[in-house]
């Protein structure tokens, strides 16, 4: 079952990510996307710093985003292959909606590591809120996440892109991936 929304625990237990290339229309409405981003902002945030923000790249700006990726990739790879350039073009146009979460640390007594954790929590809330509304999200990184040229189009040098979150409706059936065994990731401290 895709993203069982009958209860919070059911949703969290069944939530799956989607490959962005497999996401199709419909995507969330403008009101739903706003709700997703509001929920994304409701995370633990020591110091109330909001060390994250989100940039929406609507369909109308995808050609400009593709041009940015092309320019940045060529600058970093002087002899790009045709397949790489085509992959960047496809990347820019996949899925109905695209959000760029940005880690935006603040000068504070709160350690940057805690701020980074809050940003990760905001990204996870974004994905869960997407699933709660019946859509699917794929959070991916790749070379563009770490490109200074791409970052500079969205953020200041002090900020970092945390990847790209593509949102839409799955165009193919989702498969469950193998999850870690409970005993592999959970232990009990005995104090000894």
Spell out the residues 6+ positions from residue 13 whose beta carbon is closer than 8 angstroms to its own: 4
pLDDT band at 145 (very low <50, low <70, confident <90, very high): very high
> Is the pLDDT confidence value at 8 over 70?
yes
> Is the pLDDT confidence value at 138 over 80?
yes
Span between the terminal Cα atoms of the chain, in Å: 43
Name the one residue in this structure whose structure tokens are 């290339």. Answer: 21
CB atoms within 10 A of CB 6: 9
CB atoms within 10 A of CB 121: 16
pLDDT band at 175 (very low <50, low <70, confident <90, very high): confident
Q: Over the stretch 19-47, which tens digit does the pLDDT of each residue have?
A: 999 999 999 999 999 999 999 999 999 99
Local structure of 12: helix, strand or coil = helix
Local structure of 173: helix, strand or coil = coil
Q: For 23-170, CATH number?
A: 3.40.109.10
pLDDT band at 6 (very low <50, low <70, confident <90, very high): confident
Q: Over the stretch 55-64, which tens digit does the pLDDT of each residue have?
A: 999 999 999 9
Dig out the tokens for 65 from the structure.
């985003």
> Is the pLDDT confidence value at 174 over 90?
no
Q: Over the stretch 63-113, which tens digit does the pLDDT of each residue have?
A: 999 999 999 999 999 999 999 999 999 999 999 999 999 999 999 999 999
Question: Could you tell me the residue ranges of all domains in the chain?
Answer: 23-170
Q: Are 156 and 149 in contact (CB under 8 A)?
A: no
127 membership: H or E segment, kind and range: helix 112-132
**Nearest to 97, CA basis, from 167, 3, 39, 48:** 167
Average pLDDT over residues 170-181: 91
Q: What is the mean pLDDT of the chain?
A: 95
Q: Which pairs with CB-CB distance under 8 Å and at least 24 residues apart come from 59-65?
A: 59/96, 62/92, 62/93, 62/98, 63/92, 65/92, 65/98
């Amino acid at each position: 079952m895709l993203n069982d929304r009958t209860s919070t625990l059911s949703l969290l237990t069944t939530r799956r990510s989607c490959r962005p290339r497999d996401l199709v229309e419909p995507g969330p409405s403008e009101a739903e996307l706003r709700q997703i981003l509001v929920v994304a902002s409701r995370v633990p945030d020591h110091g109330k710093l909001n060390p994250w923000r989100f940039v929406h790249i609507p369909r109308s700006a995808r050609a400009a985003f593709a041009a940015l990726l092309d320019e940045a990739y060529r600058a970093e790879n002087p002899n790009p292959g045709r397949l790489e350039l085509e992959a960047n073009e496809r990347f820019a146009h996949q899925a109905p909606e695209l959000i760029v979460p940005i880690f935006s640390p603040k000068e504070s007594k709160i350690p940057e590591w805690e701020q980074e954790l809050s940003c990760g929590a905001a990204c996870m809330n974004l994905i869960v809120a997407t699933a709660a509304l019946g859509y699917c999200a794929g959070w991916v990184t790749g070379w563009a996440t770490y490109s200074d040229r791409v970052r500079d189009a969205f953020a200041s040098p002090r900020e970092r892109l945390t990847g790209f979150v593509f949102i839409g409706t799955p165009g193919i059936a989702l498969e469950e991936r193998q999850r870690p065994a409970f005993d592999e990731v959970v232990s009990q401290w005995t104090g000894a």
